[in-house]
Every structure is written in C-alpha cells, then in structure tokens.
Structure 1
Amino acid sequence: MTKMTTSRAITLASLGGCLALPSLVHADFVKDSKASLELRNFYMNRDFRQDSPLPKVSGKNPTEYKSHAEEWAQGFLLRAESGYTEGTIGVGIDALGLVGVRLDSGRGQSGTGLLQLDKETAEAQSSYGALGATGKFKVSKSVLKVGTLQPKNPVLQANDSRLLPQTFEGGSLNVLEIDKLSLNAGMFGQVKQRASSDREDMTLNGSSARGSDNFQFAGADYALSKNVTASYYYAQLENIYQQNFAGLVYLQPLGEGQTLKADLRYFDSSDSGNQYAGKIDNRALNGMLTYGLGAHSFGLGYQRMNGDNAFPYITDSDPYLVNYVQIGNFASSEERSWQARYDLNFASYGIPGLTLMTRYVTGDNIDRGAQAEGKEWERDTDLAYVLQDGALKGLGVKWRNATYRSNLAKTTEDLDENRLILSYTVALW
C-alpha cells in the first residue's frame, strides 16, 4: 500500500465500525460517552542569540538570516469518546479533530514548531488541521484500539508540547487480565507531526535518512509490591533501530507529608536491518530521586550515555529520559548529565491552582571526535495557574522560560526561550 492508502485504510476501518454501531448501541455506549473542546492559545519566542539561517525554500540553501523565531497561534482540539456496547465484545469509537490558526508569524519569525510551514515559501500557513478516528474493542479488562492514537509508554511517547499534539496511525493492545500485571503491545505505520496536517513515515531523530512505516513494541508493567513497579519493553523501528528498556519505580511514604520516589531507567539500543540510518550503538542509564515534603519536592537526576551514537528515538517524540527537558535532551554520544529540580504547590499557602517548577541540567563529556569535549547546560522555570472558581473556572495560564547554552554547534550554542500558554477546556457533553 502507498502511504495515503494505508492511512485511509486505518481511518475508514475505524469509521466503518462507527457506521455499524447503530444496531449495537446500548445505554453504556451513550451514557459513558463524553466530548470536550480544548482552546489552546500559544505564544512562543526563541532568541538564537546570534544570526541563524532562515528555513530552506524549495530545496535551496538560505541566503537570509534571523536572530530569533517568534509566533502566536490559536489551537482547537476536539475530543470525543464513546462508551462501549454491551456484550462479550464491547465496541466503541473515539474521534479527534485538530485545527491550528496563525495569529502572528512571518518568514523572518517562523520556525518555532507551532505552525505548519509552506513548502515553497517556508512561511507559516494561515491554518492547518487534521481529523482522526479510533475504533476500540473491549473484552473483559482488555482493550484493543485501532486508528489515530497518542501512545504513552517508555519506548514511544507522543509529543504534546506545542499548539497541536503529535499523533500516530496504527493499533495498540492493553491486557489487564492478571492482577498487578499490565501487558502492552502495538504497531504503528505513520506519524503526523505537531506542526503538520500530513501523515508520513517515521524517521530517526536528527537524521535525514529514509524513514520507516513499521514501528512495533511489546512490554509489561508489574507491581512487585504496593510501593515498587518494574517494567520491561522491547521496540523496533524497522530497518533503523531496535531497543530494550528496563525500569523500576519505588515510592515510599516516610511519614506525614513526606515521600521518597526513585525512578530508574535503562535502555539498550542497536541498529535494526542497518539499511536506512546506518550503525546505531547506545546504552542509556538514567534515574531520578525525588523527596517530597508537604508542598515542596526536591529532585536529583543523573543520565549517562554509552556507545558510539546518541540516544535513538522517533523524530519529535518525547524520549523517556529524565534529563529530556524543554530544549535539550542531553543524550549525545558518551554524554553524562546531572539535574537539580525543585517544585512548589502554593495550595499549602492559600493559593490553590498556582504551581512552580524550576530545574538546572548540565552535561559534559560529549564525544565530538577530534574537536574539544562537548558541554551544555539548561535552566528551566515553569509558573502555572488554574482558576479554581468563577465563570472561567479551569482556565489555565502557564509561562515557560528556558535558557540553553552549549558548544555543540554554532546555530544552537545559545538559546533563550519563552512560551506563554492559555488553555481552557469546555465539556460538550
């Protein structure tokens, strides 16, 4: 099948299930249905601290330069979820509608990742969007979903850090038949990136090599006790890379208002088929230790890369690494990095809905071949407030600030970034 044919087949299969539902619908299908519209207003400014080439136009090298990227956009995210029909096999359907509208941009300002760029002019389009449908089937405690999905597991996490989310086309299975054990498996054929309305093959982050239309994964999460959960997952992006993951999460109450959480993660990645992206060799050990004390939490993280290559993951997805932060991923070849983090919930001080997060990450020992050792650091601050009552109850305002410095490349060695996000969700039914 061609790319278009494959994506259409998935969507039509899901919609076909919906058309067959009228004769099957029961109270639970309607009663458990819900729909919402999220309004997301997003402003983003990225200061490069030096001139940077404008995006390429029609494949030609740019001759113009800019010192920053700045865009403002409005997003509309419509989500609808049905319940399940009665019977041995419960059937349902979900739908997702996405629309992004340009409020302010231009060729000298584009490139924040908020808006889809015109392939001919490299300017942000006035609007873009996408529709997706998902058929779902439930037997006992197990659920199979086919269609448009936003996976969240250690080997593949859809990115939702811009105006519209990244989505994948394929299927996933979650089995909960055994107490304390969650089995997960899935297969995806295409991806729609955050600032795009097009479905395309999945590529290796940071690589311009050919993509793949086959990503598969399988894994399990098991509660060893009420405080300890262990995980193992295997994934393969056909002809590009394969990956093993093992994780352990330990959460221990220490007394009134006190907790200790340890989150340990290990990845072993290698090439798969060695056809598209060449040799891949990476082992990533990372973990986070967090102490909670009432409204405060203090975290320390460590991340170490071993092998000849950077950590591999699907382009623009969220790698499951503790030091993957607002701008950097701190996952270059042989890199070691540390994180210090602090969170504060102001509810304990009489301001419910107000939260603060700040962190500092520093990395060194980056393998740059004959060049000097690579180094980088990033400082992030998030300040968020959600209205607790009144006519606009639930309206969220978030300011995200980041400062990034490195000696890795001239075009990315210095970055200052601000994001201002207003979000409000309306329950339709």
Structure 2
Amino acid sequence: MKLTSSALLALSISSLTAMANAEEFIATQLKSGASAQSETKGFVEEQTLGGTTRNWYANELKRRSDRFTYNDHGTRETTPRRINWVQGSILDYKSGFTEGTIGFSTQVAAYNAIALDRDVKDIAGPNNRTLTRSNGDAVGQWSKLGLANISARISNTTLTAGRQNFSSPTIDVIGNRALPSSFQGVALHSEEFNNLSFDAGSFDRVSPRTEQSLSKFRSEYGATGVETDRASVAGLNYQPFKNLKTTLYATHVEDFWNQYYFGAVHDIGDNAVLGLNTNLNYYKTLDTGSKALGNINNDAYSLAFALTHQAHTLSLSFQQIVGDEYFDYLHETNGIYLANSLLSDFNGPNEKSLQLAYSINMAQYGIPGLKFNAYHARGWDIDGTNYKGTAYDVKNMNGETHYEYSVGTSYAVQSGPLKATAIRASYTTHRASKNQSDGNINEFRLVTTIPFNIL
C-alpha cells in the first residue's frame, strides 16, 4: 500500500497530538500582573545604541563543467571560482517607550558595507553578495537606512510602522550575508495571553541584503522576474502543552499566491539522559489574483526527529514537495522553514529528500561556546515534466537527483570585552544531475560577527 503525503502528514500530526495528550493542558488566559507598557521607564531612560560588525567571506568553486558568468566592463566572461569578502556594520538606535496608556518609541539603524575584495573576476557580479555597478566593478563602500520605524504600544500589544525587522514562517528577515534584509510596511505583535501570541503585517517593499534601494517583492524561483507590490501575513503561536508549540500562519502575496503554514515542535525526555525533539513544517500554496506566476497548487512538508544525549545530537529529516513547480517563497526573505533548506532548498517539483545530521556541543567537555556540526542530504524524484506554465524553468527536470554534505564549526566568546562575538566556518559540497538547478559547487565560508554597545 502506497503511503500518500497527506496520510503521512496526518500521521505526523496525530503522533504529535498523542505525545502531547500525555501532558497537562495549559488553559489560555490573559496575562496576570503588570503589562510591558505599564512597566516602561521612559523614552530616554530605556534608550540603547549599539550594533554589530560582521566580516563575511565566501569562496565558491564550480565543479565539472559549471561556471559563473559575470560582466567585465561590457564583456561576458566565465570563471569557475567566485570570491566575496565584505565587512558589514550596523549602528542601531532604539528608544524606550514613553509612559502612559499608549507608549511610543522609535528605532533607526544605519547599515554600511565595505567590499574588501573588489576584483571584477573574483566577485563575478552581479550577485547578492557584493554590490556591483553596471560595468561589473564593485561598489567599494555604501550605506543605507536599514531600519527606520515608529512603534505604539498598549499593554502587551505593539504596532510598528516603517522599515523594520519581521519574522514569520513565510516572511522573515534573512541574515546570511554581511547585512540582513528588512521590510517596509506595518506590523502588529500581541502577547496579551499566557500561551498565545498574534502577529500580522503588510509590506510593500523589501530592503535587500546587498542593495541600497528598496525593491518590490519577487519570488525566489520564478524565471520571469515578475514583481508584486504587496505581501501580507497574519498568524498565531499557541502552546497548548508545556512541551508542545504550534504555529499557524496565512500569507497573501498580491497576484502571486496565498500560502498557508502549520508548524509544530514537541520535546520529550531529558537531554542530560536522552531527549527527543520532533519538528513538523507544512506549507500549502495556491495561486491568486492575476496569477502572475501561473497556476500553483503545491504542498510542501518536512518532518524531523532529533535525539540529544548530553553534548551529542543526531537528527533525521524527511522532506517532500507535492506539485509540478518549485515550492517557492519571496526573494530576500527566509520564508522557508522546511528542515532540508540548506545550501540547496531541496524544493524541486515533486522532490523527496532526506537529511542526516550530527552536532556536538563542546561545553560538556570544558570548552563552552565551541560547537561542531556535519550533515548529509540527498534529493530525488525531481520531476517537472507535467508543469503547464511558463513561470518556472522545470520542464526539463525528469528524475533529477542531487546531494549535499557539509562540515562546520562555530565559537562564541563567553566573557570579556568581546563577549558574544561569534566565529563560524563551514565547508559545503553540492553535486547534481544534469538538470537540477543548484549544480555542482564547493563553498567555504568564514563569518565573524562582533556585537557592541555604546549606550
């Protein structure tokens, strides 16, 4: 008997529910005691000024016959290697909230980037790593307002308008470059209940990681470059039991899609002896409006299990896409919470993937802050031959496969003037069949992030 994806999803939800039923139910009620707004100390009294500086280095090498294509002062050239080295800095000012029933605050953050490697062939632009001019030259230094917003708060509910950070399973700040993205619009966050919170947002522009100007939204995998003026999202986070957290969100991207998300995380056991973490993510995507990306009817889910014994964690993740197009999300966002979203997203049409990962926390062995990790992931059954539209380049994908493995380490300084400074290094290899879109590449990254406080 063939187990369908719907049946597997239902079985996963049932398993989580069964585990949760053995625990004590948490009744939802208004938070008792003082609210966040009633405890504010004032606009000036709680102001902060600080930020981070990040040194971001990536060295990529295409393998087999794959090549990067770049613009060298009007001539199209190819190269197997791409090197990007950027210093990104953020100076972030946050005021406190004014006192009273309704409190007001503001946030302004200046973003600055310096290209440390400016060789045209090295950076192989344009890309989303080093900002380049139209002739291929690097922009040596540039700045912008990454954040600029005003917030109003009543009790434990805050409304924010302007350029801001926002986090949800479908629209989320992405911070894997020298500078992060941000969004322009209006957002609401409410925590009036003990185990239930709400979020909503509507945004008309994104501030990209490696651009000075604001941009309209476009999809990550669409091949036609169409854009949209608005993306809106609403959802809730609910914790019915001590060890079970659930998330439900709905997102409307004008003329692209309606996307629905359900997530559940359950923990059981004691990590000092043996703990089990179960993580379920599910997305349903349907076309809407003028269907600028054509017909879309897509299901995507992942189910991950992680066993932890003291310093050691071993995890296994299965992921599947059900649909003849990519599982897609908005460019310059981290709107993909699927477990196997790695260097590759493993999100091809009808793709199945499996990941095995291991990590060790060296704090158990007397070196707090030091961690090592490794994973191997494989994707198969990628098939876009039944795709009827033109927005995605998938019709030549017929039984495509690929795999990826990575080793990495990170260290966070535990004390002293550089406390919380994080250093992360990783080496990743990806290999693919002829028509799988991510191709054949090796990448080494070294990222150092140093936080600082002025006020």
Counterpart in the other structure of 2:181: 166
In the alignment, structure 1 residue 143 sits paired with structure 2 residue 143 = no
Gaps of 5+ in 1: 1-25
In the alignment, structure 1 residue 320 sits paired with structure 2 residue 322 = no
User: Which one of 293, 296, 300 corresponds to residue 284 of structure 1?
Assistant: 300
Q: Which piece of structure 1 moves more, 205-214 or 398-407?
A: 205-214
In the alignment, structure 1 residue 91 sits paired with structure 2 residue 96 = no
| Cα drift, residue 195 of structure 1 | 0.9
C-alpha contact (below 8 Å) 1:136/1:145 kept by paired residues: yes
C-alpha contact (below 8 Å) 1:241/1:312 kept by paired residues: no
Counterpart in the other structure of 1:424: 450
Q: 1:31 to 1:135 in 2, by over 3 A?
A: same
| Cα drift, residue 113 of structure 1 | 2.9
C-alpha contact (below 8 Å) 2:70/2:78 kept by paired residues: no
In the alignment, structure 1 residue 114 sits paired with structure 2 residue 129 = yes
User: Which one of 146, 159, 182 corresponds to residue 197 of structure 2?
Assistant: 182
Alignment partner of 1:348: what SS?
helix
What is the percentage of aligned positions where both structures have the same residue?
Answer: 26
Counterpart in the other structure of 1:385: 411
C-alpha contact (below 8 Å) 1:284/1:305 kept by paired residues: yes
Letter in 1 for 2:110: G
Q: 1:190 to 1:255 in 2, by over 3 A?
A: closer
What is the alpha-carbon distance in structure 2 between the residues aligned to residue 32 and residue 374 of structure 1? 55
Counterpart in the other structure of 1:235: 251
Counterpart in the other structure of 1:247: 263
C-alpha contact (below 8 Å) 2:271/2:308 kept by paired residues: no
| Cα drift, residue 373 of structure 1 | 0.8
What is the alpha-carbon distance in structure 1 between the residues aligned to residue 377 and residue 355 of structure 2? 4
| Cα drift, residue 371 of structure 1 | 5.2
Q: Which piece of structure 1 moves more, 67-76 or 370-379?
A: 370-379
| Cα drift, residue 386 of structure 1 | 2.1
C-alpha contact (below 8 Å) 1:209/1:276 kept by paired residues: no
C-alpha contact (below 8 Å) 2:323/2:349 kept by paired residues: yes
| Cα drift, residue 260 of structure 1 | 1.3
TM-score (norm 2): 0.84
| Cα drift, residue 205 of structure 1 | 1.1
In the alignment, structure 1 residue 123 sits paired with structure 2 residue 137 = yes
Alignment partner of 2:209: what SS?
coil
What is the alpha-carbon distance in structure 1 between the residues aligned to residue 331 and residue 414 of structure 2? 37
| Cα drift, residue 122 of structure 1 | 2.4
Q: 1:52 to 1:155 in 2, by over 3 A?
A: same
| Cα drift, residue 391 of structure 1 | 4.4
Q: 1:72 to 1:234 in 2, by over 3 A?
A: same
| Cα drift, residue 412 of structure 1 | 4.2
Counterpart in the other structure of 1:80: 93
In the alignment, structure 1 residue 153 sits paired with structure 2 residue 179 = no
Q: Deviations over 1:204-232 (max 9, x none)?
A: 11223321111011111111111112221
Q: 1:245 to 1:391 in 2, by over 3 A?
A: closer
Counterpart in the other structure of 2:429: 403
Alignment partner of 1:347: what SS?
helix
| Cα drift, residue 29 of structure 1 | 2.1
In the alignment, structure 1 residue 100 sits paired with structure 2 residue 116 = no
What is the alpha-carbon distance in structure 2 between the residues aligned to residue 371 and residue 232 of structure 1? 32
C-alpha contact (below 8 Å) 1:250/1:262 kept by paired residues: yes
User: Which one of 11, 35, 41 corresponds to residue 55 of structure 2?
Assistant: 41
Q: Which piece of structure 1 moves more, 30-39 or 330-339?
A: 30-39
User: Which one of 204, 228, 235 corresponds to residue 219 of structure 1?
Assistant: 235
TM-score (norm 1): 0.89
Q: 1:372 to 1:274 in 2, by over 3 A?
A: same
Alignment partner of 2:96: what SS?
coil
| Cα drift, residue 258 of structure 1 | 3.1
| Cα drift, residue 30 of structure 1 | 2.2
What is the alpha-carbon distance in structure 2 between the residues aligned to residue 392 and residue 230 of structure 1? 36
What is the alpha-carbon distance in structure 2 between the residues aligned to residue 94 and residue 307 of structure 1? 42
What is the alpha-carbon distance in structure 2 between the residues aligned to residue 38 and residue 290 of structure 1? 32
What is the alpha-carbon distance in structure 1 between the residues aligned to residue 191 and residue 397 of structure 2? 51
What is the alpha-carbon distance in structure 1 between the residues aligned to residue 337 and residue 234 of structure 2? 16
Gaps of 5+ in 2: 1-39, 386-395
| Cα drift, residue 185 of structure 1 | 0.7
Q: 1:194 to 1:255 in 2, by over 3 A?
A: closer
Counterpart in the other structure of 2:82: 69
Counterpart in the other structure of 1:5: none
* Aligned residues: CA RMSD: 2.0
| Cα drift, residue 27 of structure 1 | 4.2
Q: 1:412 to 1:251 in 2, by over 3 A?
A: closer
In the alignment, structure 1 residue 366 sits paired with structure 2 residue 370 = no
Letter in 2 for 1:128: W
C-alpha contact (below 8 Å) 1:36/1:78 kept by paired residues: yes
Counterpart in the other structure of 1:199: 214
Letter in 2 for 1:273: G
Letter in 1 for 2:136: A
